[in-house]
Structure 1
């Protein structure tokens, strides 16, 4: 299972993805979904389902379904990503993860994270070549995303869609002429038998 830790006041090294069998891409290791920003929608709606979760305090959170919770990612072939250049940003930045505090977190369960290799992060600062646009001003982008969807956040607008390992996911009943809700509904074509095990 993934174990994300705050990187403030800490230094971490990253060796190489070659030392493991793509554990981060497997549902059995805890990979099911990841939170999204609005800017992610256009990049992933053609390949992955974009769904919503109801978070703490009844907040609505858009997430991407990466696996069905049991099997490896459908795009993982021979332990390699078959859509490498077009994979979601969360995959591109792993084992790092953006956080609402603007301090990145790191997954300590990643076999490449340790005391060997190049420095990936030093005192909360991401080193090249691990930097990515998703980390820039993440807090404000997350807040903007929250307020965008909050205006649609009513129980009568949502429909239960699927449950994976105790996590409940929802869809909107209509797009409300909103660009991002249209992308969300269009992405549900990817919610096929792979996810409904």
Structure 2
């Protein structure tokens, strides 16, 4: 559901861009978002489609959620795909973890079509299908997105009370802000690590190793978590791709 962007600018430029994006998010009008919530009137019908890789790709975990998963099932996390950067030594870097899926693409916590940890479900699962971030459409135009999978799951045009609309707005903004904060801290830590250890981002190395990774090669990945980088080995079949 979530993921970073590869390093194409300097770390400081990326950090500044993410901070500006966070400012835009926090200034988004509450009444505008609530109007969209009311207009859509989404209600979950427990179809379970959002709990599959086919429908939503990977589930990116915030740090608190990663800690929660590790307490429940330690092997249920893996480095988030779409690695953000690579150094000249051939090590990838990524801003967090993703939730592991079963071979059929379903969430590892989905049992008999229902979430087995619903009362402890993760941040992105709590706010889904709502979102509040900007992204490019097929034409390249960048604009806000507030709903995922519109008309592809659940039911619509249901009445939603004012208090529930306000809760959805608060939790969605809180999730998106936490995601941006994690991305910012990741790039700050990566900038400092590269400066301290004399590392540099090499796009040619990134592209070559990604080609090898897609063909099944095992790669080294450093995952950002709680201010440090945790080392892993990853291969493509872990992601069911």
Please give the secondary structure, in 1, of the residue aligned with 2:119. Answer: helix
Q: Distance in 1 between matches of 2:96 and 2:120?
A: 19
Residues 66-105 of structure 1 aligned to structure 2 (within 5 Å): 66-67=100-101, 70-99=104-133, 105=146
Higher relative helix content: 2
Give the Å deviation of 1:26.
Answer: 1.6
Q: Which runs of 5+ in 1 are unaligned?
A: 1-6, 164-168
Q: Which has the higher contact order (CA 8 A, sep 6+)?
A: 1
- For the 8 Å contact 2:60–2:80, the answer to whether it is kept is no
Q: How much is the aligned-residue C-alpha RMSD, in angstroms?
A: 4.5
Q: TM-score of the superposition, structure 2-length normalised? A: 0.49
Which is higher, the Rg of structure 1 or of structure 2?
Answer: 2
Q: Which runs of 5+ in 2 are unaligned?
A: 1-31, 86-92, 136-143, 192-199
Pick from 45, 51, 56: which aligns with 2:80?
A: 51
Give the Å deviation of 1:106.
Answer: 1.0
Give the Å deviation of 1:49.
Answer: 2.1
Please give the secondary structure, in 2, of the residue aligned with 1:64. Answer: strand
Pick from 150, 172, 192: which aligns with 2:222?
A: 172
Counterpart position of 1:41: 66
Q: Distance in 1 between matches of 2:239 and 2:81?
A: 15
Pick from 112, 119, 124: which aligns with 2:154?
A: 112
Higher relative strand content: 1
Pick from 15, 23, 44: which aligns with 2:43?
A: 15
